[in-house]
Structure 1
Amino acid sequence: MRLIIERVLLCTLMGLCVMSPVFAANGAKLSLEQRLQRIERIMQNQSLADLVLQVQQLRQEVQQIRGDLEEQKHNMDAMSRRQRDLYLDIDQRLSRFQPGGAAPPSPQPISPPMTPPSAAAPVRQPVTPPTTPSPGFGASAQVATTAPPDPKMESDAYQAAFNLLKQGRYGESITAFSDFLRDYPGGDYEDNAQYWLAEASYVNRDFDTALGEFTKIPEKYPSSPKIPGAMLKMGYIHYEKKNWTDARNILNELINNYPTTTESRLAQKRLQRLTKEGH
């Protein structure tokens, strides 16, 4: 850039020197052709000056564009930070229902014995044990009992399935949660496992399977804290399937039944979106 400006200044000075005299350096009168040649050189010098101005303007525009790009990058970084904070906030709230969270579900004691510890009676007894042996059997007939599941094994199995989901291994997590529901029915994490099983299918965009799995939560676990989240995802699925009426019905039901939840606020936003889109 500096070299171009120096050349332009030099050409401009030469042009001024050429325009001022009418005679050559030796005093001879210039011919018409020589004068035309000088005028052409002057015009070329002016064109170079215009070119320099254009380059300077382009340089300013590039600087302005660069500033706009830096501003856009700053905005994108801020948006990424907000999304990350939102994800962490949701993850922390969900962790309350996960093993090791802030408030994991505490198992309820099952029929504690009323006798002193020295008594030989077992803790878990059949609901209606026979008082007399049945005819044809010995008096010492035994009643089969089922041992309760190991809480640590149950917690480890749930956490392993949940880790697969967080790692994005959705197919494996679906298998793991299905195995968990089969192996630990009635456990402390059953409703959570059912929710994340449905969520894995939802993330895979297998909406029909996800809808069926989410529907089981309010049906099988009427007091589960996962019900608002399940209803919200059911509304989202109906929206994706363009079932506008079903989407509105389930989202309105969520808002009416759970008005103070985060899921209720998200349902209101999706209803506003439906209205804005004319559905």
Structure 2
Amino acid sequence: MKVRLLLLLSISGSVYAQRMPLPPVVDNAAYPAAVANAPKPSAASTLYEILGRVEQLQVEVQQLRGQVEEQAYTITELKKRQNTIYSDLDQRLQVIESAGVGAQSIPETVPEPEVEPQPAPSVAPVIQQPQAIQTKPEPVKPASIESEKQRYQQAYETLKNGHYSNAISEFKQFLTDYPAGEYSDNAQYWLGEAYKVNREVSLSREAFNKLITNYPNSPKVRDGLLKLGYIELEQNNLAKAREYFTRITANYPGTTAAHLAAKKLQQLNNNQ
């Protein structure tokens, strides 16, 4: 019996000794490894998120570049229009000058043939002598017109060269000296422009309104109305701006001012 018990104890001890290492065999070490590898998916998703943001920024940069290019094109077009306005004004001055010379030469040549066919009657010379006397003051008019033209061109050149305050003073003095001259409507218009560029909005508005009131038949009226529309648009007075632009398109169809006013009306409608 004792021998059997010893044999059973030895066998059970050997078996127990073989089973003791089994608990460490459980792969618990794999869990820490899995935890260590867990951040990899979140890092990848963060990387994809960053890449997405970079692509979005690239798209926004391209859009901004497009807007900059559009603005650069708009500025170029505005400069072209400004040069066109200046050249048109110069051509208009030349036409006025040539028309003025032609109008002044016609009265000088017409009375002379009327005097020559009637030398016999004694009454005719008596009647024509006062006419000759009356025509003597007329040469003064070309001199005054020439002086007016020089004064106007001087003020215009001052404005063109960017001396806006000086141009304002010169145009104001010009209008004081020649309130109903050949170039008064143009001077009134450029006075409003000089005030506008000089950021004197209320005075610019007043000058353009005087242009419309004092020179209603001037071709510069439509340009003055356009500038008033621009002023009201810049001051965010949209209803008033719309009123001016609509008035231009209705009263001056087919003109450059009407075309520009129509574009502003379209912009206002799109922004509603």
What TM-score does the superposition give when structure 2 sets the normalisation length? Answer: 0.61
Q: Counterpart amino acid of 2:52?
A: E
Report whether the alignment pairs 1:177 with 2:171.
Answer: yes
Rg larger for: 2
Report whether the alignment pairs 1:229 with 2:223.
Answer: yes
SS in 1 for 2:258: helix
Name the structure 1 match of 2:85. 94
Mean alpha-carbon deviation: is it higher for 149-158 or for 218-227? 149-158
Name the structure 2 match of 1:262. 256
Report whether the alignment pairs 1:126 with 2:141.
Answer: no
Long gaps (5+) in structure 1: 1-27, 116-120, 128-143
Name the structure 2 match of 1:71. 62
Verify the 8 A CA contact 1:231 1:250 in the aligned structure 2.
yes
- Once the two structures are TM-superposed, the CA of residue 40 in structure 1 deviates from its matched residue by 1.6
* 1:156 alignment partner, one of 146, 154, 157: 154
Verify the 8 A CA contact 1:254 1:264 in the aligned structure 2.
yes
Q: Counterpart amino acid of 1:85?
A: T
Summarize the alignment of residues 1-279 of structure 1 with structure 2, pairs less than 5 Å apart.
31=24, 36-47=28-39, 49-99=40-90, 104-107=94-97, 108-109=100-101, 111-112=104-105, 113-114=108-109, 125-126=136-137, 147-148=143-144, 149-150=146-147, 151=149, 154-164=152-162, 170-182=164-176, 189-203=183-197, 206-237=200-231, 240=235, 242=237, 244=239, 250-268=244-262
Q: 1:248 and 1:75 mapped to 2: Cα distance? A: 29
Mean alpha-carbon deviation: is it higher for 215-224 or for 69-78? 215-224
SS in 2 for 1:259: coil
Q: 1:243 and 1:65 mapped to 2: Cα distance? A: 35
Q: 1:81 and 1:274 mapped to 2: Cα distance? A: 22
Change (3 A) 1:105 1:189: farther
- Once the two structures are TM-superposed, the CA of residue 269 in structure 1 deviates from its matched residue by 5.1
Q: 1:214 and 1:204 mapped to 2: Cα distance? A: 15
Point out the structure with the larger helix share.
Answer: 2
Q: Deviations over 1:51-73 (max 9, x none)?
A: 44124303421441243033213
Change (3 A) 1:206 1:180: same
Change (3 A) 1:268 1:42: same
Bigger relative contact order, structure 1 or 2 (CA pairs below 8 A, ≥6 apart): 1
Aligned length: 221
Change (3 A) 1:243 1:40: closer
Change (3 A) 1:234 1:147: same
- Once the two structures are TM-superposed, the CA of residue 125 in structure 1 deviates from its matched residue by 3.0
What TM-score does the superposition give when structure 1 sets the normalisation length? Answer: 0.59
- Once the two structures are TM-superposed, the CA of residue 189 in structure 1 deviates from its matched residue by 4.3
- Aligned-pair RMSD on alpha carbons? 4.1
Q: Deviations over 1:194-233 (max 9, x none)?
A: 1121123345564442232112223443443311111223
Verify the 8 A CA contact 1:95 1:102 in the aligned structure 2.
no
Identity %: 25
Long gaps (5+) in structure 2: 1-20, 113-131
Change (3 A) 1:53 1:65: same
Q: Deviations over 1:119-160 (max 9, x none)?
A: xx9xx8325xxxxxxxxxxxxxxxx99953455564233211
